[in-house]
Structure 1
Amino acid sequence: MTRKSISTKVVHAGERLDPQTKSLTTPIYQSSVFGFETADDMIAAFEGKPDAYIYSRIANPTIAAVEKKLAEIENGEDAILFASGLAASYAIFASLIKSGDHIISAGDIYGGTATQLKEFIPNLGVEVSFVDLINDPEVNIQKNIRPNTKFVFFETPTNPTIKIVDIEAVVRAVKKRQLLTVMDNTFASPVNQQPLSMGIDISYHSATKYLGGHDDLTAGVVIGRAEMLKQIRRYRTYVGASIDPQTAWLLGRGIKTLDVRMERQNKNALVLAKHLSTNPKVKRVFYPGLESSPYHATAKKQMSGFGGMLAFEIESDRNKMNLFIKNLEMIKLIPSLGGVETTILIPAYSSHFFMTPEERKALDISVGLIRVNTGIEYIEDIIEDFERGLQGI
């Protein structure tokens, strides 16, 4: 597709009229396997002929169409879909490293990814250093680079405290030593942030979240240069971490409304963050769109919108938190994000439950921290429900 706005890309990228039926939407090729009319056709497919399909674990036309859409909306050459976001992240890690290598990871990352890097990647003979990339990322990366360092991994905005890593600073530090950069762009979405255009080598998402957008599928995607992604695609094929055609189709349909959803969620999150900042029962609000945020300037530099995720802190224990949740009418306690409904999560009791109290404290995760996925509902209804919850504690 020629250079177009992301508003247009989310609708049209990867789409074409079906060659046989002229269907406007991409058909669901619900088939595990594809046949051949001649031995020559089969040989051509195994040699890698474009648009020649063999087995859906390897490739499928429905999946390929959505991969093309995702590559285009994030300005990548290629995209690879997986069965989940964690399947995508593990495929990246396992494909890019070998025994004896070293990885630098940000400390502020999703709990599931942290578990992969702490418990499973070391079993491959790989060392992982967790480094502060929020403050002075360039200096802290340079301090921790070793001769066997392979890449630097981070996410921004961070989960769950919505802190911002300076992408340009990370890229500067890494390029000096010709290392790779891998970034989780889930919290921002391609609408709000384009990491590949800022020099990041590989971007990935839990597509379960904003890309799907309706809490009805589980998927992950890796996006980057075609040559760099070859080994990751091969890993997916032989580990069997592929997405199925039905889920890929649902994801493609969800992506078409990504831009309009994010526009509303960005707007609602900013209004909600400003309102919560005025409530005396709220100790802190974490949202980079607030001018009072220490991350506002960096976010403004690298994001076109501040996102639908925010967090706030109240004085709490488990009993008070249960009262707060019970008093909510519309908003639900949900261990995910990115859907059109406003939902909350208590990180200390969920995504970061298995961390020690000391580890959580270092990441600003208290038992009173509430992470919010701001939905697309009427903003006054969202505010009213939070006020109802806070009044009861």
Structure 2
Amino acid sequence: MSFEEIGINNEDLLEKLYILDYNDPTPIQKESIPVILENRDVLGCAQTGTGKTLAFCLPIIQQLLQEHTTHNKTVSTLILTPTRELATQISENIGRLIHQTPLKQAVIFGGIPADKQIRRLKKGVNIITATPGRLIDLVKKGHIKLSQVKHFVLDEADKMLDMGFVKEIFTIESYLSPTHQTLLFSATMPNKILDVASKLLNQPQEIKVSPVSSTAVAIDEKIYYVDQRNKKRLLIDVIKNNNINNALIFTNTKRGANFIVKALGEAGIKSLAIHGNKSQEARTKALSYFKKKKIDILVATDIAARGIDIDSLDFVINYEIPPAAETYVHRIGRTGRAGKSGQAISIADGTELDSLKNIEKLIKHSIEEVKEHDFPMMEAEQDRNRMIKKKQKNNRRSSRR
């Protein structure tokens, strides 16, 4: 099935899809595009890397091009994201599609001065991609008017709720035209998402592709068990023994990300970290260096990594097992995209075994253990219980900072 067969008939867009090597629509695109072109609301569930961004951008841009006049400078599309990285990635994708068309866009997020963003807005834009906080601030100051918005997209809605943006979502929605179309996409569909969707969407078409309990078949999953005191040494061994030079490493905390970058540097492995305490400039630089292969490893926390778009990522490494089983699926979904193979390596110590059981229960298969390595797990049960209590105490201290 081609893009033309599902309703994309704009010749300029079709040519750009060909140039960008988008030959055939993915399942989420096949399901979503015709529905969006009918101006229906959508409640979409799809994992990272399924082509979700193009699924909503393509039909919206086609409609805007059909309706657009050179004098139209009103904001007609608003895309809301949880993080500045995701906002930037979506904006880059839109930029490729609207290049050399009358359509204009702006990307709005915090962490940097607003002056440049305000100047861009004053020139007139049709599409805004934004994070909630900065958007509301600029609306209240009169720099953005949303009353003419026809298309409202919430991307990574589950993460927005996890970050506490529920109130902001409804505040933003109140600024919009009462007749707007709403498209809500989420990697997971817990009850809290369904509750928000019931209040925002009008008789939506529900679309589910690759449920969250599944991991992509192209991903080779492996796990190493190790004593906590040897975890860092094992990580370095795994990287060097497998000649890994294109990997995204996940940690559960910002402190952990900094610790890994320091440890890898001492071992002669080039890496940088992205997390909430890093400035926008530092995060952009880290991602740019990784894409340009100036560094071998990018270390990230889950929130900072949401929305990062990296082509042909060979390895995802879980240095720390995520407490939420669904997060494991999100993390390893960064590799094995678009039919390419990828490897997901997890390193678990005795304090993380319960989390691992929950992950294997969710994904409905056991992760293959790598038994042959230099740092096998030797900790006794009482030692593991002691470490769990210590870890919980440290986490409580970190949360108060």
TM-score (norm 1): 0.37
TM-score (norm 2): 0.36
